Chain A
């Protein structure tokens, strides 16, 4: 992937998150490498259990015992994984902010929304009470909450789903973060509201020059918002590249299968090119490539050894021995 030119941006190297479970060790994220350049929107995409949310939470060190995180997460020349709790607290919420799928569980139900925005400002800035109020009002307006003055004193249950997500974004933006981590921010929303929130995120990215890491299972969301993408399967990144390149010519059979599974308009009532079988359990991964039991390109080599994530073209990485055959296969889109 693109090397980070200076100290700005996020550089993740060898990030591994493991959980001890009753059925043995589960490696939820294995040896994850990715970079996020300033102002860039990177999509982490995969199905449930692929490790995309765990990766995002590991970056913010939100993994609790018995989960263990190793590897390096470089941010502004510092390593978030090795950082002391005190130092990390200063980074979280000010330089790096996060928004979640369920705004109702992430917001405090017994505090007015305005107070929750001000909480962040109190923790990270030296603003006085009146300035905080003014800034909260400004943020509510930026994220498009109408009638902000009155809404500041309302509680989360008085907000609709879309408005709650906007309020979450307002809290995240309070200290003008340089990086926004978004974990399925629109999955619980209706399509017209999702459309509004995604466009809002893109506008904010432009205005505030922040980077965004967007975790999603929806390839449509990736196509509509991201600059680059990383596809995850069974805890590993299997393919990365710019969104345009990956959609035009997937180099990993799993990416190809995912793209083929999305219903499109062109051929009504025809078979979708589904992927047979189901994703493996993390405690019982197959030998070799984790995808080989579901892969139509698989050979003996795939059953024996795991393909490394390696450069396959300019700006492209893929973890497949047969990426050339995959790339040459009939177009899927």
Chain B
């Protein structure tokens, strides 16, 4: 998986959103405030893998997902799909890209048109991209419903007639209708109850095997991300702190933030309780990023260099990458006392 050319690569992507520009700021000649959603993100998605992107709210994971499908254009840097910068695609190529990279959203109720039946929605996707001749569309819709395990009578019904889990299946069916290569799922199951969540996760795992999909799975729930991803990227304040194979990340995190996230997630074993909080403090404002490492203010291992120099993502062996000045952090031989 490591040597193959990545299907999607993110090179130094930065994205800012303009914040409020108050009169006093204008008068004093200061630049407008900006939310730094992504700062210099580098990431690669390999064909056929599931890449999990995990982080707390405001870490930029959804912005990154939206940049990947070109719902947002980065301010600088490039996103390449099969080596081509997606910002510079010709209109005809862009149509192909839109078909091959599909996004599924968190809230199926706001991303499905309430006035269209399931058959109309799926038919539209099939028609726009000319996936099938008109006569074959009903058969294809039946096939798709079968694929996501919805009953056949679902075709004639409207979104409000379905439960949350079923609606999310409709979203999946619509994305799969155009036979994409890559699915970007933004908090796919976060709004669902745990028993229904498990059904949708199982479905996604099966579909990926069956259709050889590449999946980018964005979520805040570490347990879930660990369960379904081959590799996981941990984000914090618009930066990637660590990218590691799932198992390696969870057994030996190489960044103090990854470790803090893991320790903070409640353990499902009541006999292994811990009474000390994993981190102190809260996220700094994305309007006013610290100069050095964004995690420095909360990190138990912070030292001077962290406050003045931002660490970059470097390899740590075993397929792991971390952005931390403590290159030995979490290393199997020399484990600093956490």
Number of interface residues of B (CB under 8 A): 50
Number of interface residues of A (CB under 8 A): 50
Chain A residue with the shortest CB-CB distance to B298: A192
- Complex Cα distance A45/B268, Å? 14
**CA A189 to CA B206, docked complex, whole Å:** 31
B194–A221 touching, CB < 8 Å? no
Which positions in B face A, CB cutoff 8 Å?
Answer: 50, 56-57, 163, 165-166, 193-199, 201-202, 205-206, 220-224, 226-228, 230, 246-247, 250, 260-261, 263-271, 273-280, 282-283
Contact A269 to B271, CB < 8 A, known contacts A47-B195, A48-B193, A162-B282? no
Q: Which residues of A contact B (CB under 8 A)?
A: 47-48, 160, 162-163, 190-196, 198-200, 202-203, 217-225, 243-244, 247, 257-265, 268-276, 278-279, 333
- B223 pairs with A262, CB closer than 8 A: yes
With A191-B56, A191-B222, A223-B268 already in contact, the answer to whether A268 and B246 are too (CB < 8 A) is: yes
**Closest Cβ–Cβ distance, residue B291 to chain A (whole Å):** 22
Q: Are B223 and A265 in contact (CB under 8 A)?
A: yes
Interface centre among A218, A224, A244, A259 (most CB of B within 10 A): A224
Q: Assess whether B264 is in contact with A191, with CB atoms less than 8 Å apart.
A: yes
Are the CB atoms of B57 and A264 closer together than 8 Å? no
Interface residue from B57, B246, B247, B271 paired with A190 (Cβ < 8 Å)? B57
Known: A199-B275, A268-B246, A268-B247. A278 touches B202 (CB 8 A): no
- Give the residue of A218, A261, A263, A270 whose beta carbon is less than 8 angstroms from that of B195: A261
Chain A residues with CB under 8 A of B205: 269-271
Q: Which residues of A contact B267 (CB under 8 A)?
A: 220, 223-224
Q: Give the residue among A221, A263, A264, A265 with the most B Cβ atoms within 10 A.
A: A263
Measured CA separation A244–B250 after assembly (Å): 24
Nearest CB on B from A247, distance (A):
5
A82 → B minimal CB distance (Å): 35
Q: How far is the CA of A263 from the CA of B226 in the complex (A)?
A: 8
CB contact under 8 A between A191 and B250, given known A160-B282, A261-B195, A279-B193: no
Measured CA separation A267–B283 after assembly (Å):
32
* Set of chain A residues within 8 Å of B230, measured between Cβ atoms: 269
Could you tell me the distance between the alpha carbons of A195 and B223 in the complex, rounded to whole angstroms?
Answer: 15
Q: How far is the CB of A205 from chain B (nearest CB, A)?
A: 11
Which of B50, B198, B247, B273 counts the most chain A CB atoms within 10 A? B198
Task: Pick the residue among A202, A243, A272 that contacts B275 (CB under 8 A).
Answer: A202
A263 B223 Cβ-Cβ under 8 A = yes
Extra A-B contacts (19), CB below 8 Å, given A160-B282, A191-B56, A261-B195: A192-B260, A195-B278, A196-B277, A198-B266, A217-B193, A218-B266, A219-B268, A221-B266, A223-B269, A223-B270, A224-B270, A224-B273, A257-B195, A263-B224, A265-B226, A271-B202, A271-B205, A275-B195, A275-B199
- Residues of chain B within 8 A (CB-CB) of A264 are 223, 227, 268
Min CB distance, A45 to chain B, in Å? 10
A226: nearest chain-B partner, CB-CB? B270
Smallest CB gap from B230: residue in A: A269
Of B195, B269, B275, which is in contact with the most chain A CB atoms at under 10 Å from its CB? Answer: B195
Q: When the two chains form the complex, which single residue of A191, A200, A247, A274 contacts B198, counting CB atoms closer than 8 Å? A: A274
- Enumerate chain B residues within 8 angstroms of A279, measured Cβ to Cβ: 193
Q: How far, in angstroms, from A272 to B224 measured CA to CA in the complex?
A: 10
Residues of A within 8 A of B228 (CB): 263, 268-269
